[in-house]
Amino acid sequence: MAGLATSGSNPDVSLLYGINGLADDAPGWFDRTMGFIGEYGLLLGMVLLVLWCWWTMRRRATTLDDAATSLAAIVWAPLAAGIAVLINIPIRGFVERPRPFVDHEGLDVLVHGKTDFSFVSDHATLAMAVGVGLFVANRKYGIAGIALAVLEGFCRVYMGVHYPTDVIGGFALGTAVALLLSPVAMALLTPVAKAMGRSARVGWLVRARGSLGAVEPGPGTESESASGPASGAEPGSSGLPGGDSERDLAA
């Protein structure tokens, strides 16, 4: 199964040379920057995006159920990435596709020391799994994550360490894992997140302090006065900035 694309007439190889050829015309500092971004920078950016999504969603939640579901969806994003990479291990061993620079001359390789197989790209798999996982939690952050994943895929080809189809395969694998296993993951993670939300010690991980008010009223305790909602809050409003209008969870 080695070498899925070895012919120069193969569109996969032609696109590889076309994208990697841009590095020949770029200044050295730009190539070094692209090498760092493609190897480390964008993955770090995905981590920061997950943390930003978590920080925002925990402040917007209006009920414990909302907060727990949001946290479960956000936690699933990096978990999906890890599972996708584990699934990729036997795939790479079965296909045994060499790196592009092994079979093709004239490539400008920006990162050296790559001795493992090429198909599918771990970086593309990780990035797309996180991006799609975030889309399950929040469409805005998910779109940003998917855009970073696409940029990651471009960088891997630009760096001369992957064929375009390595990247496409990584996108497909990351997307499949994040979406297909999402229902099971949510069913398992949501009760855990809800239990954490009730905890005095780790509840801040699920919702911002005071964002939900009384999370779990005790027996016989009224959450509102007999006269109606708390003073200053309009009927049907949570009293929080943004209210339900800012909730965006693709359950």
pLDDT in tens, 119-140: 999 999 999 999 999 998 899 9
How confident is residue 81, by pLDDT bands cut at 50, 70 and 90?
A: very high
Q: Which of the pair, 37 or 201, is modelled with greater confidence?
A: 37
* Listed residue (45, 77, 22, 47) closest to 148, CA to CA: 45
Q: Which of the pair, 135 or 228, is modelled with greater confidence?
A: 135
Query: Is 23 among the domain residues?
Result: yes
Query: pTM (2 decimals)?
Result: 0.78
Q: How many angstroms separate the CA atoms of 155 and 178, rounded?
A: 22
Report residue 62: phi and psi, to 5°.
Answer: -110, -15
How confident is residue 232, by pLDDT bands cut at 50, 70 and 90?
A: very low
Do the beta carbons of residue 126 and residue 156 sit within 8 Å? Answer: no
Query: Is 122 among the domain residues?
Result: yes
Residue 248 has pLDDT above 60, yes or no: no
What percent of the chain is predicted at pLDDT more than 70?
A: 79
Query: Is 223 among the domain residues?
Result: no
Query: Is 224 among the domain residues?
Result: no
Mean pLDDT, the chain, integer: 82
The number of beta carbons lying within 10 Å of the beta carbon of residue 205 is: 15
How confident is residue 107, by pLDDT bands cut at 50, 70 and 90?
A: confident
Query: Is 214 among the domain residues?
Result: no
Domain that holds residue 173: 13-110+117-186
Long-range Cβ pairs for the range 104-109 (8 Å, 24+): 104/6, 104/8, 104/13, 104/16, 104/17, 106/17, 107/16, 107/17, 107/20, 107/160, 108/20, 108/21, 108/23, 108/24, 108/31, 108/160, 109/159, 109/160, 109/161
Query: Is 192 among the domain residues?
Result: no
Q: Which of the pair, 242 or 249, is modelled with greater confidence?
A: 249
- Number of structural domains found in the chain: 1
How confident is residue 238, by pLDDT bands cut at 50, 70 and 90?
A: very low
Residue 66 has pLDDT above 80, yes or no: yes
pLDDT at 202: 82
Do the beta carbons of residue 124 and residue 170 sit within 8 Å? Answer: yes
pLDDT in tens, 15-65: 999 998 888 888 889 989 999 999 999 999 999 999 999 998 888 877 888
pLDDT at 249: 54
pLDDT in tens, 153-165: 999 999 999 999 9
Query: Is 33 among the domain residues?
Result: yes
Query: Is 216 among the domain residues?
Result: no
Residue 147 has pLDDT above 50, yes or no: yes
